[in-house]
A and B are shown apart, each in its own frame.
Chain A
Amino acid sequence: MRHLIIGSGPAGVVAAETLRKADPAAEITLLCGEAGPPYARMAIPYLLKGEIDEEGTHIRKDADHYARLRIQLVQARAVGLDTALDTALDAAQGQVRLEDGRRLPYDRLLIATGSRPSHEQIPGMDLPGVHSCWTLEDARTILAQARPGTRIVQMGAGFVGCIIMEGLLSRGVELTILVRSGYMVRRMMNPTASGLIRRWCEGKGVRILTHTQPLGISAAEGALRVALPEGRSLPADLYLSVVGVDPNLGFLEGSGIEIGHGILVDATMQSSVPGIYAAGDVAEAADCLTGQRRINAIQPNAVEQGRIAALNMAGLPARFKGGFVFNVLTTLGLMSSSFGEWQGVAGGESTEVLDEARFRYLNLQFEGERLIGANCVGFSDHIGALRGLIEGRVRLGVWKQRLMEDPAQIMQAYLAAGPRVA
Chain B
Amino acid sequence: MQKSLHLDPNKCTGCLQCEMACAWENYRSFTVAKSRIKVFTFHREGRFVPYTCTQCDEAWCMTACPVDAIRLDPETGAKIVLEPTCVGCKVCTIACPFGTINYVAQTGKVQKCDLCGGAPACAKACPTGAITYVDSDWTGFGKMRQWAGKTDTNPATV
Contacts and interface: CB of A to CB of B under 8 A. Distances in A.
A176 B153 CA distance: 50
A307 B102 contact: no
A10 B95 CA distance: 14
Interface stretch (B12-20, B72-80, B83-91, B121-129): B83-91
Interface of A: 10, 14, 40-43, 45-46, 51-52, 56-61, 298-300, 303-304, 307, 326-328, 330, 335, 337, 339, 380-388, 391-392, 397-399, 410-412, 414-420
Contacts of A399: 154
B93 A299 contact: no
Contact of A328 (B87, B90, B144): B90
Contact of A412 (B66, B91, B153, B156): B153
30 contacts: A42-B66, A42-B91, A43-B67, A45-B89, A59-B67, A299-B95, A300-B94, A328-B90, A328-B91, A335-B103, A339-B94, A382-B38, A384-B94, A384-B97, A384-B100, A385-B98, A387-B96, A391-B97, A392-B97, A398-B155, A398-B156, A411-B40, A411-B99, A412-B40, A414-B98, A415-B151, A416-B151, A418-B144, A418-B148, A419-B145
Interface in B38-95: 38, 40, 42, 49, 51, 60, 63-64, 66-68, 85, 87-95
Contacts of A42: 66-67, 87, 89, 91
Given A300-B60, A380-B93, A418-B148, 12 more contacts: A46-B89, A51-B88, A56-B67, A60-B68, A299-B64, A300-B63, A326-B94, A328-B93, A330-B88, A387-B94, A398-B154, A412-B42
Interface in B100-126: 100-103, 105, 108
A46 B88 contact: yes
Given A307-B63, A397-B156, A383 B68 contact: no
Contact of B101 (A59, A384, A392, A398): A384
Interface size class of B (residues with CB under 8 A): 35 or more
Nearest to A60: B68
Is chain A's interface secondary structure helix, strand, loop, or mixed overall? Answer: helix
Nearest to A414: B99
Nearest 5 CB-CB pairings of A with B: A385-B99, A388-B97, A40-B66, A382-B99, A419-B148
A52 B98 contact: no
Given A10-B66, A43-B66, A419-B151, A384 B49 contact: no
Contacts of A60: 68
A337 B151 contact: no
A381 B102 contact: yes
Contact of B98 (A57, A304, A384): A384
Contacts of B142: none
A124 to B, nearest CB: 33
Contacts of B156: 397-398
A383 B99 contact: yes
A392 B60 CA distance: 14
A59 B155 CA distance: 45
Contacts of B49: 415
- Which residue, A57, A60, A327, A384, has most C-beta atoms of chain B within 10 A? A384
A403 to B, nearest CB: 13
Contacts of B40: 411-412, 415
A304 B63 contact: yes
A135 to B, nearest CB: 15
